[in-house]
A = this chain, B = another copy of it.
Amino acid sequence: MPKQARARRTYELALDAAAAEFSRHGFGNTNLQMVATRLGLTKGALYGHFSSKEEIAARLVAELDDVLRPLPDGAGQPAHRRLHDLVVSLADRIERDVRVGAAVRLVWEEARATGEQPAFWRRLRETVVQLVRQAQQEGGIDASRPAETLADLLVAVPFGVHYVAGATGHADVPGRVRAMWGLLTPLLRGPGAA
């Protein structure tokens, strides 16, 4: 079935609309009526693009992999720089890209309900640990600290800021993450770098 251009556009809009609802209300509390209303469509029309509510969520979650792909302009950069870019862009996209925000919430809800580790988080942690190790070898990060703890800290920061962003009205989340990174810089450099 060769999809028509309009259908493709509707599909993308539907994904955005669903992401906005999922991000706000979670999977279970989102109803397709609200999504359809956002789109100016009917529920039945949604069914032409997705076969179930779960499929919509799965599509959004599948796009999460993008945020882990090495940033295009990151090649050739030192590891500590790529680490900075990853952490900051993560905080940025979670807050600004509704699809990423929704996907993160969906993954989290699923993980809480089933108790299983989502593939995304495992890969994220592995990526960060590896970057930290690499940066330590390159001298960009103090090698005397355990890489795992550093990685946990660097992952916890953007998610933690996102998690409590409501406390400050979601005001300039990426800016605050950047400021935190500035705080952490001497810590990463190590005691001698002061």
Contact = CB atoms under 8 A, between A and B. Distances in A.
Given A156-B156, A187-B187, A167 B117 contact: yes
Interface in A104-142: 105, 108-109, 111-113, 115-118, 121-122, 124-125
A174 to B, nearest CB: 13
Contacts of A149: 176, 179-180, 183
A191 interface: yes
Contacts of A159: 159-160, 163-164
Interface stretch (A25-33, A54-62, A67-75, A78-86): A25-33
A2 interface: no
B157 A109 contact: no
Nearest to A179: B149
* A interface secondary structure, majority: helix
A169 B117 contact: yes
Interface string A163-194: 11011110000001001100110110001001
Contacts of A105: 112
Given A163-B108, A186-B187, A125 B168 contact: yes
A183 B117 contact: no
Interface in A141-158: 145-146, 149-150, 152-153, 155-158
Contacts of A158: 160
A25 B109 CA distance: 7
A161 interface: yes
Contacts of A161: 152, 156, 160
6 smallest CB-CB distances across A and B, nearest first, come from: A160-B160, A156-B160, A121-B167, A111-B166, A28-B29, A191-B194
12 contacts: A23-B112, A24-B113, A108-B163, A108-B166, A116-B166, A121-B166, A125-B168, A146-B179, A149-B179, A153-B183, A156-B157, A187-B187
